[in-house]
Amino acid sequence: MATQQKRLTIGVLIPDEVQLLDLSPIDLFAMLDPSYISACNLPAPILALAIPSTIHYISLSAPEVALTASLVIKTPKTITDKDVQPGMLDVLLVPGPAPDAQFGEEVLGFVRRHARSEGCDVLSVCTGCRVLAAAGVLEGKRASAPRGLVGRLRKEFAGVVWDDERRWVREGRIWSSGGITNGQEMVAAYLRYNFPSPTTECVLAMADVGEKGEFYPNGNVKETGWWLMQIIKATVFGGGKRKKLL
pLDDT in tens, 17-32: 999 999 999 999 999 9
pTM: 0.91
Instruction: Mark 179-192 as b/e (b = at least 16 C-beta within 10 Å).
Output: bbbbbbbbbbbbbe
Question: Does residue 230 contact residue 37 with C-beta atoms inside 8 Å?
Answer: no
Q: Return the closest-CA partner of residue 202 out of 10, 53, 7, 50.
A: 50
Average model confidence (pLDDT) for the chain? 93
pLDDT in tens, 160-216: 999 999 999 999 999 999 999 999 999 999 999 999 999 999 999 999 999 999 999
Asked if residue 245 has pLDDT above 80, the reply is: no
pLDDT at 73: 96
Q: Return the closest-CA partner of residue 98 out of 22, 186, 187.
A: 22
Asked if residue 4 has pLDDT above 70, the reply is: no
Which helix or strand (DSSP H or E) is residue 166 part of? none
Instruction: Mark 207-222 as b/e (b = at least 16 C-beta within 10 Å).
Output: bebbebeeebeeeeee
Nearest 5°: the CA angle 7, 132, 16 is 80
pLDDT at 107: 97
CATH architecture assigned to 8-217: 3-Layer(aba) Sandwich (3.40)
Asked if residue 42 has pLDDT above 80, the reply is: yes
Scanning 195-219, the segments in alpha helix (DSSP H) are: 198-207
